[in-house]
Amino acid sequence: MDILSAATLLFLVMDPLGNVPIFLSILDKVPAPRRLRVLLRELVLALVVLLAFLFGGQYLLGFLGLSEHAIRIAGGIILFLIALKMVFPVERSVQTPDEDDDEPFLVPLAIPLVAGPSAMAVVMLLATNEPGRMLHWVAALGLAWALSSVILLSATGLKRFLGRRGLVAMERLMGMVLIALAVQMLLEGVAAYLGSVGAMP
């Protein structure tokens, strides 16, 4: 997988278009002069969390003794389930900030909306499958995060331009692409496993 493919995969998993309505709802309770600063802070925190999983996740998976084939197959299954939720969405809700403190911090904007379990799993899988290409994965994560940040920073304009139905349509289109990527990853994992079994004496 090259940098562009990895960045596309991470961008689809982050699902910024699907998060636009939720971000707008939460930030609506933040005083207008601070909204941009709060959003930038949460995006940076999300990037830090994902970088931590990128560099530390492989050691966790290694400690658990998981094989490369198991990780690749599991990654394909996880991505497939995520994509299904994008194509056939269910009502999503997040805990909003308390009334006494209307400014979110880390939760729920950074985690789980941007740096969610799916994004954490993907960066861990990338690092574990090819640990020698960490600089490539950092670049891919940076590209995906930057594009997601641009979309979320433009959330108000996007919702006004596309409308709710337009955002849903775009999210489902991204889900279809992600399904194809998930199936490809699953097939590669199964083929690699069968090849290793066939090569055993």
- Write out pLDDT tens, residues 101-124: 567 888 888 988 899 877 888 898
- Would you say 151 and 20 are in contact if contact means Cβ atoms under 8 Å apart? yes
Tokens standing for residue 174? 């991204």
- Write out pLDDT tens, residues 57-103: 777 777 777 776 777 787 788 778 877 877 887 665 555 444 445 67
Q: Where are the domains of the chain?
A: 3-199
36 has pLDDT over 80: yes
Q: Which of 42-51, 92-101, 145-154, 179-188 has the weakest average pLDDT?
A: 92-101
Range with top average pLDDT, 116-120, 141-145, 152-156, 180-184: 141-145
Interatomic CA distance for residues 82 and 89, integer angstroms: 10
Interatomic CA distance for residues 49 and 31, integer angstroms: 26
Interatomic CA distance for residues 40 and 29, integer angstroms: 16
CA torsion angle 61 149 21 32 (round to 10)? 130
Note the pLDDT of residue 101: 54
Interatomic CA distance for residues 178 and 132, integer angstroms: 25
Chain centre distance of CA 95: 19
Note the pLDDT of residue 92: 56
User: Region 149-168: what's the mean pLDDT?
Assistant: 85
Q: Residue 80: CB partners within 8 Å, gap ≥ 6? A: 179, 182, 183, 186
How confident is the prediction for the chain on average, in pLDDT?
A: 83
* pTM given for the model: 0.77
Tokens standing for residue 124? 């861990």
